[in-house]
Amino acid sequence: MANKKSDKENHIDQKEEQRDLPVARTGEVDVSGGFINDERPGKELCAVVSIGASAGGLDAFMRLLKKLPGDTGMAFVLVQHLDPKHKSALTEILSTVTSMPVSEVENKTVMKPDQVYIIPPGKAMSVTKGVLNLIPRAARQSMLIDFFLESLAKDQGSKAIGVILSGTATDGSRGLKEIKKVGGITFAQKPQTAKFDSMPLNAIATGVVDFVLTSEEIACELAKIARSGIFEVKKTVNGKLFSANADELNQIFTVLRKASGTNFSEYRELTIRRRILRRMVLHKIEKLGDYANYLRQNPVEVAELYQDLLINVTNFFREPEAFETLKSLVFPCIMKNRSPEEPVRVWVTGCSTGEEAYSIAIVLIEFLGDDAFNTPIQIFATDINETLIKKARAGIYPKNIEADVSLERLRRFFVKVDEGYQITKTIRDLCVFARQDMVKDPPFSRLNLISCRNAIIYFGPAMLKKLYPVLHYALNQKGFLFLGSSESVGAYANLFNLVDKKHKIYSKKAVASPFIPEFTASEYMAATMENREKASGGGANANLKSKVLEEADRIVLNQYAPAGVIINSDLDIIQFRGRTGAYLEPASGKPSLNLFKMVRDGLSFGLHSAINQAQKENIPVRIEGLHVINNGRVNRVNVDVIPIGEPPGKEKYFLVLFEKVVPQALPEGENAGSVVAEMKQATLEDENSELIRLEHELAATKENLQSIIEKHEFTNDALRAANEEIQSSNEELQSMNEELETAKEELQSSNEELMTLNDEVQNRNLELGRISSDLFNLFRSINIPVVMLSNNLHIRCFNPAAEKTFNLIATDVGRPITDINTNFSNSDLEQAILEVIDTLISKEQEMQDRYGRWYSVQIRPYRTMENKIDGVVISYGDIDTVKKSLALTREARDYAEAIVETVREPLLVLDAGLHIKSSNKAFYQAFMVTPEETVNKSVFELGNGQWDIPQLRVLLEDILCNNTLFEDFEVAHNFPQLGYRKMLVNARRIVGSDNQTKLILMAIEDVTENSTAQKSSAKHPTDN
């Protein structure tokens, strides 16, 4: 049988059912999903709440526990990053804020309701059948939260609840995805209330978080969910939430189909139930009918349920060994069987946010190596969810992909952005993303590989029956089908050969494809005509008449099919039912179907009154004992006029039935015999004449019948011969039709590809338009001249500021820069550009134009999005004012130095540390020292310490602090090589060239001779 599953596939389905919907103690299915410990006495565990936290998470967890009731029936497991070298005090701390028992987990701990479990330091933790298991932390390194959440999702199904509190990095994001995948509930702390918001922000960025709340609000929401009773097994089963004949589920499917166009009734029922139940838990709705009504009243919830039903959990290089098998087994066969100009065509179905498509593209590029640039590659990635397609096109992913992508691949195929990582343009250009329903929409064709991983497990038998022929048709003769680890071709093994059992890789069998497209031209034309009829109103009338006829059939059958007609409100007959000749006959003259132009004599008056009453009161009306004249005889008739239904249009319809009255039985009694005798005598003569007439009619009828039979036999022989010819022609037409159908399918597939490519091109054109506008405005707003050159020194573009500086015009784009008479020396510019292109090292130099204006020229390599060097970017900064200022400063400095060197008095310039910064020539001559013995030495260390005078030190420091000055400070000392000298010192503060540095100018005047002359004059006074 075509729909019969293989034993292996049944085994997989059974495992899936056991994982998703375990059996309760009553032997019935627990639709809430999750493990139930049959042997545990007392209160049952309704759900498991895993709370992940890192830095700052303790305070958030304490706030949550304080607000949380102690009788929720849930178990709470805290997974926090703890120092493995120190004993944790969390148990003692948390015990003070909650009435629930708090304990540190030991290996093989059985979870119980209303208890708090804490991971011990240095351990990683998982859960199996409600039992907590400990393993060494090194086995999972630092991703403790992800590790536990993933195991919790597998073990508890939709009864798993994940909470992410304060912390750094991305731990927990992957685990929340797994919980969302199995129908669990996810929370994240509001980032504004977290001490460290990295973990909540990364969790929210995944798009799988149901509630973003404060710690206290998370506790209240958990309590509401627990009180809703939706996790109670007995209540769920006994209430027959998902009973086999529940009409509410079909109502939900109808609402979804109207909103999205997707028929979820063909999806795997267990998955659908789990997702619907999850939404009911979120809204605390206990009955399926109430949720169906809630959907009708809330379009936003319809959209949320639609997103939940479309499983969108994926990651890069899922099952890495399978991708290595592609490189070692599949890709070599594909490259061997293709011609050089033929592209490698891949279709990734259910691509979600694009990780699977990009992973295949990366692996294919790695396999091709240097041949990748010469091999055309087309990767079509499709999904039914338009929101996910937009994310896939952007190609931006959070930082936690580092767990799945190696550092080498991150460096080669990704670019760091603020949000995390973005796929490089090289890989992005290989992939075309578009919305497509893989079962309903036309498929791609001539494919080398189809990746349909972890999507088939959610499809029901009806969808699988449609899908596998589509996949078989889409592959080329030697194409491959790549499925997930839990999937197989099952009953459709006649279409595919098993290539790799472990990684579920199949090849196409060379058999006729059973694919029969449902998107045929006839359906298209029918839909078009239907739309036209609806637009013109004709479709409504035709549909209405059809319903009227069906209703009339039902009524007539209920009344033993008497003769009658159906009329409209204009009394026109629209259908004859039964033998109406005794009551109606065509009128002479122009043909008419009006009832009262065809009715026989005797019926008009009573029939008209009955119809009028039925029209006014809209009720069935019966008139008895009417007389109708037929062939000179009068018969009694009962007439029924019945309104048909409640038509939605304005026009009304009526069923008119004619019932012949059967003559009553003869009376009994004394006069019965005489009455009978009289009647017999009266009718005997009429009966004889009628009998003779009937015998003649019977003989004529026999002759006519014989003639008709002979003609019929002759006609049958002719029809038999014509039928044989038609059969022969039909064979030819079928053959031609198959060829046309094949050609049409190829055209439809090509059209689908063109539509997909057109969609992609439109998106890229919009992006390029935005980038072009940004670049144009940036160029126009920059006042610095910028010129971009290609590797052969041809001008790519330049901004308005460069036109005057370079002496350029618009038509110079594309010309070599060396052919243009710019305002700069072309030889120097060309040499500098060539050096940058050869060395890839940016260069900066100062250049002067022909007018003597100075510019700072920066030449940098021009890098493409693929990180290739394709020319240079030259920018010119106007430094003419700076150069002139430097020249003036240099001139002033030279002028000052010339004055200082001309002065005959010794001069010293001291810095803030009273070290000699400079001195003049007169100082070196006066004290017979060299610059090496003077500069950078403390003034108090000169010579034999002759300047180390405490009072002089105080005066100099006072100058620095208070901006004072002093004059004629006397210093008398025996200087080496000079002997006794008497000096007068003058000092004041000056400012350095940077207008900030504090300096002291100290002038020294030798007054020894004047002092000696005065002494001599005092000893030998001159006579007057």
Residues marked active site are found at 54, 81, 171
Question: How far apart, in whole angstroms, are the C-alpha atoms of residue 207 and residue 196?
Answer: 20
Question: How far apart, in whole angstroms, are the C-alpha atoms of residue 641 and residue 623?
Answer: 9
Long-range contacts (CB closer than 8 Å, 24 or more residues apart) made by 276-280: 276/249, 276/252, 276/305, 277/31, 277/32, 277/33, 277/158, 277/183, 277/230, 277/241, 278/158, 278/183, 278/184, 278/185, 278/308, 279/304, 279/305, 279/308, 280/230
Question: How far apart, in whole angstroms, are the C-alpha atoms of residue 145 and residue 166?
Answer: 13
3-state secondary structure of 908: strand
Whose tokens are 């997974």? That residue is: 79
Q: Are 50 and 149 in contact (CB under 8 A)?
A: yes
- Pseudo-torsion of CA 736, 740, 746, 752, nearest 10°? -160
Q: Are 918 and 935 in contact (CB under 8 A)?
A: yes
Give the DSSP H or E segment for 224.
helix 215-227
* 497-508 CB burial, b ≥16 within 10 A, e <16: eebbeebbbbbb
Residue 475 β-bridge partners: 447
Q: Residue 1014 CB: number of other CB atoms within 10 A?
A: 10
Question: How far apart, in whole angstroms, are the C-alpha atoms of residue 451 and residue 991?
Answer: 77
Question: How far apart, in whole angstroms, are the C-alpha atoms of residue 18 and residue 29?
Answer: 10
Q: Are 127 and 151 in contact (CB under 8 A)?
A: yes
Question: How far apart, in whole angstroms, are the C-alpha atoms of residue 271 and residue 463?
Answer: 14
Question: How far apart, in whole angstroms, are the C-alpha atoms of residue 791 and residue 798?
Answer: 16
Q: What backbone torsions phi and psi does residue 476 show, to the nearest 5 degrees?
A: -80, 180
Question: How far apart, in whole angstroms, are the C-alpha atoms of residue 483 and residue 488?
Answer: 7
Q: What backbone torsions phi and psi does residue 447 show, to the nearest 5 degrees?
A: -95, 145
- Pseudo-torsion of CA 572, 578, 582, 584, nearest 10°? 10
For residue 97, the 8-state DSSP code is T
Question: How far apart, in whole angstroms, are the C-alpha atoms of residue 229 and residue 219?
Answer: 16
Q: Where are the beta strands (DSSP E) in 493-596?
A: 496-500, 505-508, 563-568, 573-577
Question: How far apart, in whole angstroms, are the C-alpha atoms of residue 186 and residue 623?
Answer: 72
Q: Are 348 and 447 in contact (CB under 8 A)?
A: no
3-state secondary structure of 452: strand
Whose tokens are 């939900």? That residue is: 252
For residue 824, the 8-state DSSP code is S
3-state secondary structure of 817: helix
Q: How many residues does the chain have?
A: 1024
Count Cβ atoms within 10 A of the Cβ of residue 605 and give its class: 0-12 exposed, 13-18 middle, 19 or more buried.
exposed
Whose tokens are 């090589």? That residue is: 977
